[in-house]
Structure 1
Amino acid sequence: MTTANANALTARWTSTVDTGNTVLSGPGVYVLLALLAPFADGQVRDDLLAVAPEPLDLPDSPTTRMATAVWSRTDVPLTDAFVAAVPAARRGPLTGDPGTDQPVLDAWADEQTAGAIPAMPIQVGEDTLMVLASALAVQTTWSSPFTGIPRCPQSGPWAGRDLNGLSRRTRGLQELRVAGTEGGPVTLLTVTGADDVDVVLALGEPGRPASEVLPAAISAPARASTEGPGISVREIEAADDEPELLVDTVRFRVEGRHDLLKDAAVFGLAAATDRDEGHFSGVSPVPLAVDQARQDAVAEFSATGFKAAAVTGMSMVLAGAFRPQYQYKKRLVSVNFDRPFGFLAVHRATGLVLVAGWVEEPELAEPEL
């Protein structure tokens, strides 16, 4: 059911997309929701479990890589259970200084996607207590490559435009299916990758929006057919009777930048943003609320293959009026070095004094102008 749950999230998300070029990754969000769900409280826990009831285990793949990481401030103690769920290699510190923290997060996004996404989609602030992130990278080549050809459509919204066309002719029709939906049929063409990733191209009837075509491509029942949008059939002379499939499409590179909190209910995050109280006591005794949730993604389809990358980030801030509870009283002892003093630098394991020195005259402050 894990794949079905992740696909269901992607289908719901695609039903909300606006017009224009875009790309998104449901699994990139799902892995973070599934990580948080067991450690959430009350309504937030219910909402997250409804979307991501179990972890998503990606198959061992030569074409697909998923990485996750968590950064937190030292004054946000993590529970033993959360530490066990997120190994030390996937955890890092936040200093509370955006000038220090943001470059670290940006470098992680850049490294995990080989430069495709050069920066984390969220911006940390002085009040950011925790950041969770995922990075997805996919790259495959076609089992049957395309040939690049100039294209200039004669009708439709692309009429008169000079395009980077792609064309190929293969034997058999097994890559072609049509999904029937209430809004009309959707043609599905599977472009088979050389390893373990394929790309499905989905075409609806003229004027049908992405918010309808994409969910249909994900979840609507489909069958082999030669009757659907964009499909035409003609007879040719040939040496055998095996059908052939001629595909004409275009090269593309698209980008998407998504604020997940604009449709927070889709991701089970609506209640998690309420700062009146904390929602993740299983993560930390410090009350936390979700502050930002964003994803940046990019995808490129060419004559030889396909590659895509997505980075998803969520940040958390303090919720409610938190007051640390102290159980003990103690003395406060002060020491003031206000006259000449010496110093040593000692190697802890061996006791070796690495350097020693004396401060006779302290450094003077710069005079005010």
Structure 2
Amino acid sequence: MPVTAAETFTPIARYAARLHAIAGGTHHVASPLGAWLLLALCGAAGHDVEEALGVDADDALAFAADLLGTPHDAVLSAAAVWTRARADALLRRLPAAVETGDLPGQDRLDAWAREHTLGLIESFPLQVPPTAVVVLATALATKVSWGMPFDVVPGSTLGGPFGARLANALRTPEGHGHRQFVASSARAGDLVVHTARAREGLAVTSVAAAPDVPAADVLAAAYEVAGGTAVARSLFDLPLGDGPLWTISERHAPVTAASGREERCAAILPAWEARSEIDLGHPDLGFPAGARAIAELLGLTEYDYEARQSAVARYTRVGFEAAAVSAMFTTTGFTMPREGLVRTAELRFGHPYAVVAVASGGGPWDGVPVFSAWVANPSGSAG
């Protein structure tokens, strides 16, 4: 039986933790799913990558085939494997949706990146050398509009370091299309959570914890929230007044709940955009093992490899756009592998926080986390 989105959520979340740890606590965006799918393609050459994938290599490849072969309204996806040497043993194990062919020149690789990311990624992440014998790539992209756009408010309402330097911020409007609440996580403590839903079928969740909580713990909590395992808290269990994440007040007003108590939240967030280049060569991400498996399958006794991801994202008053191209090449040269660089509440995202974008709408994409980010340098423009 094919592996499902629910069964792969935890392995992809664990992979995301490794990828974001390598990117560090600075402002960045990434597609752990894009890198994970690239590694799944490496699994066509052997099972050396299973520890990093977190699932059986054949199951990962089958899940990749489901995603790549099933179009999603909000997420454009593509994958390719190009070769300069005879590689039938690798090619015949790939999903049917994977583009294959002779290794193109750099201009064509750049054009492939633009074509499959709605123009958001302008060039291929790698400069492919003449000695390359295999190039693998995945691309993911989205451009979506919120079901209900944000309102624009003064940046000072954010509070924290963001509020001190931004002219404008985004506030959730009245009505449907936005969900915000307070939650708790064993790893990150109390959280403020906001989810904006796009018309096309993408939910983008922002999660902030106390300012002193490490980025890795907040990102892990964001994946818990996106996966539905974080615990929501009642505003009536929290103290009134100001805190680092919220202001809670209480008043008498008409309510519809039979209990006579009603909870309402609004969220204030910054607009933001990010562009990142991430080296995927760290051993924790599995590509050293993937390159070795490909080299062995092709009979290369000496080889080198490089793996990298380019990612961009923009979060504005009216919508969200993001794209990532993940790529790896294997060459016939050999060098030693390099180590990578190792009640009524107003919820304020006034300091660095995490974001996870999850696909919805049924089929194999339903519930799959596609992009995630650490927002530490928001935009002063609401877009």
Band the TM-score falls in, shorter-chain normalisation: 0.7 to 0.9
AA aligned opposite 1:93: D
Spell out the pairing of 1:180-195 with structure 2 (5 A cutoff): 180-195=185-200
Unaligned runs of 5+ in 2: 1-6, 257-261, 335-383
Q: Identity over the aligned pairs, expressed in percent?
A: 28
The DSSP-based 3-state class of the residue aligned with 2:246 is coil
Matching residue of 1:338: none
| Equivalences for residues 211-250 of structure 1 within 5 A | 211-219=216-224, 221-225=229-233, 226=235, 227=238, 230-236=245-251, 238-241=253-256, 242-250=262-270
- Separation (CA, whole Å) in 2 of partners of 1:234 and 1:88: 54
Who is 2:30 aligned against?
A: 24
User: What TM-score, normalized to structure 2?
Assistant: 0.71
Aligned residues: 306
Alignment of 1:266 onto 2:288: no
Match of 1:129 among 130, 133, 156: 133
Q: Mark the CA change 1:148 to 1:289 in structure 2 (over 3 Å): closer, same or farther.
A: farther
Distance 1:253 1:156 in 2: 19
Higher relative contact order (CA 8 A, sep 6+): 2
The 1:174–1:290 alpha-carbon spacing in structure 2 relative to 1, beyond 3 Å, is same
What is the DSSP-based 3-state SS (H/G/I as helix, E as strand, rest coil) of the residue aligned with 1:114? coil
Deviation by residue 1:31-58 (Cα, 9 ceiling, x = unmatched): 11111114136xx355455466323333
How far the C-alpha of 1:161 sits from its partner, in A, is 1.2
How far the C-alpha of 1:287 sits from its partner, in A, is 5.0
Distance change (3 Å), C-alpha of 1:288 and 1:29: farther
Q: 1:16 to 1:125 in 2, by over 3 A?
A: closer
| Shift in CA distance, 32/153, structure 1 to aligned 2, threshold 3 Å | same
Task: Return the offset for 1:293.
Answer: 0.7
Structure 1: gaps of 5 or more residues? 96-100, 321-369
Deviations 1:56-98, CA, capped at 9 Å, x for gaps: 333642101110011111xx10124523525497113226xxx
Larger Rg: 1
Q: How does 1:197-212 map to 2 (within 5 A)?
A: 197-212=202-217
RMSD of aligned Cα (Å): 3.0
Q: How far apart in 1 are the matches of 2:184 and 2:163?
A: 27
With normalisation by structure 1, the TM-score equals 0.73
Equivalent pair of 2:149/2:317 in contact (CA under 8 Å) = yes
Alignment-derived partner of residue 100 in structure 2: 91
Equivalent residues of 2:29, 2:276 under 8 A apart: yes
Query: What does 1:1-369 align with in structure 2 at a 5 Å threshold?
Result: 1-40=7-46, 44-47=48-51, 50=54, 53=57, 54-55=60-61, 56=64, 57-58=66-67, 60-73=71-84, 76-80=85-89, 82-85=91-94, 87=96, 90-94=99-103, 101-152=105-156, 156-158=160-162, 160-170=164-174, 175-219=180-224, 221-225=229-233, 226=235, 227=238, 230-236=245-251, 238-241=253-256, 242-261=262-281, 264-272=282-290, 279-280=293-294, 283-287=297-301, 289=303, 291-318=305-332
Helix, strand or coil at the partner of 1:67: strand
Q: 1:32 to 1:248 in 2, by over 3 A?
A: same
Alpha-carbon separation, structure 2, partners of 1:92 and 1:213? 42
